Amino acid sequence: MSDPFHALEETVTADVTRALAEDVGVGDLTASLVPRDKSCTARLLTRQDAILCGVEWFNRTVEELDTDAEIFWHFEDGDEVMAGTQLCEIEGRARALLTAERTALNFVQMLSGVATRTNRFVKAVAGTKARIYDTRKTMPGLRIAQKFAVRAGGGSNHRIGLHDGILIKENHILAAGGIRAALEEARHVADPGTMVEVEVENLAQLAEALDAGAKLVLLDNFDIVGLRSAVEATAGRAELEASGGVSLENVRAIAETGVDRISIGSLTKDIEAIDLSMRFIHR
């Protein structure tokens, strides 16, 4: 798969432009109450322990409104931060910082939430060979941002979209005429290096996929016993990915079955934003 972050600057700019247009519209009425030439200093604080993510989105939001603003970060994306910590200090025009505040915080709160949740799963499987993967269950228009946050949390990215990988699911199998037929067609249309994965729902389908030469197989909603049996039956002939019903309570047990990958939709779908605040400093 291609690097989804090769054009991150353009992605960040597009995300911020869209978000500011949504929030600011024709102008910030409340910020207009502040004198135009007033400058200020503000601090960004976290009220929760978290994995920080969203620095570039925060910076771009502020810079879009005040090109002369200066932002001094004490941490980087992927850093673990403790509740009560000052994350950065911002110096700039008061009106601009007031207008930027909510959009900038929204990005960092959401992306840090994704990174933090991902990191909990990564830590839960530490010491096993299993890697934690995201899915396409993302917020529309913010997929690259959320997958960046998964990386910041120590996770791995599954395919970015329908364009850079093949995942043959139940309906594809039915429409194509079977697992073997679908895999053979995938080999014809996929460029070298393109991910080709097939989803199976039982051990019989797993055997069929392996016989057809599958090298990456998604085990859909297998229980622990089924996962162990799948790992034993595969015997290293293909990478195995467990998916469906994964939680912090059972992910360790899933990893200990010997699967190579565990994909979790809730990393980017069930977001619990980190509680942050931006406070102006009285001078």
Spell out the domains of the chain, with CATH numbers in brackets: 8-122+271-280 (3.90.1170.20), 124-269 (3.20.20.70)
pLDDT one-digit tens code per residue, 240-275: 999 999 999 999 999 999 999 999 999 999 999 999
Rounded CA separation 257/240 (Å): 11
Instruction: Say what the pLDDT of residue 194 is.
Output: 93
Are 133 and 255 a contacting pair, CB within 8 Å? no
184 is catalytic: no
Q: Which of 43, 123, 136, 137 is catalytic?
A: 137
The rounded mean pLDDT for the chain is: 96
For residue 138, what are its two tokens? 């993302």
Does pTM top 0.85 for this prediction? Answer: yes
Q: Which of 102, 120, 136, 269 is catalytic?
A: 102
129 is catalytic: no
220 is catalytic: yes
199 is catalytic: yes
Q: Which of 15, 199, 208, 260 is catalytic?
A: 199
| Whether residue 283 has pLDDT greater than 70 | no
| Torsion angles phi and psi, residue 241, rounded to 5 | -120, 120
For residue 247, what are its two tokens? 């939680």
Instruction: Say what the pLDDT of residue 1 is.
Output: 54
Contacts of 267 (CB under 8 A, 6+ apart): 114, 117, 118, 121, 132, 134, 135, 150, 153, 155
Q: Which of 43, 136, 169, 237 is catalytic?
A: 169
